[in-house]
Amino acid sequence: LQGRLQVLRAGGLGLKRPRYGLYVIPPHSEEVLLMAAERQSQLKLGPYYVISSNALDFDRDSPCFLGRLSGNATCTQYLLHGQRIGGSGTSGTSATLREEFAALRFRKPTDAPRRMQVVLPNGTTSYSSRSGQEGQLLAAAEGTMPRQQFGYMVNTSPTWDAARKVYRMNFHNRVMRASSKNFQLIKADSSFKAETPEFLAMQFGRVDETSFSFDASGPLSPLQAFAIALSVFDDRVYEALRIYY
């Protein structure tokens, strides 16, 4: 899948909620909007995006609803959920479960660019409860449950250019500007060590002030790749304070 992510509406100190759109060009056709996302205003800490097939409808009960991306207060880990599913609680009471589509962690233990670690369902369905407890995918990322049943990805490591004193990456002429939002993803093993550095599952990078190139392939779905791209638009307080994490 090759397309672009467009900032449809920027946020700020006002009441406007940031919006983003993913556009693709089908064969022998004009560019179309595949999906859109809106960052919600809420009382609890942490970013929260609703993803929809309609750029004007972000109601979670709408038939256009595709998923929601929620992050923690420090914007260092995210979970992509699907539709709410009715279930049964541990005491036989009614409960609501959310299907998990992807988990993402950011790590920055040194002065080098941050690391991205992605966990995907792998042939089985993962759920988390509405109580806000971390689900199976985040638990697998943290290493607190068996990791063999999931798929993993990491971002590629940029190369340090000593002459220009910058980190560089090859985006194959798809990215026009340097940005901390630029990244590439490759498959990894369960310890987040790259397995196939020559095969890119996703690359994302700035073209101009409001447009970003967006390329993704299997095992990522368009929804998973779009959610991962949304996460780079959030400010990470640890990085602003120059604290390793």
For the chain, the average pLDDT equals 87
Residue 12 has pLDDT above 90, yes or no: no
> What band does 128 get if pLDDT is binned at 50, 70 and 90?
low
- 120 - beta bridge partners? 151
Output the pTM of the full model: 0.88
Distance separating alpha carbons of residues 88 and 91, to the nearest angstrom = 8
**pLDDT, tens digit, for every residue of 44-96?**
688 999 999 999 999 999 999 999 999 999 999 999 999 877 654 444 444 56
Compute CA distances 236 → 10, 34, 134, whole Å: 18, 28, 20
Q: Tell me which H or E stretch contains 146.
A: none
Average pLDDT, integer, range 99-118: 92
Where b means 16+ CB within 10 Å and e means fewer, 28-65 reads eeeeeebbbbbbeeeeeeebbbbbbeebeebeeeeebb
Measured CA to CA, the distance from residue 77 to residue 73 in angstroms comes to 9
Q: Distance between CA 214 and CA 6 in Å, rounded?
A: 10
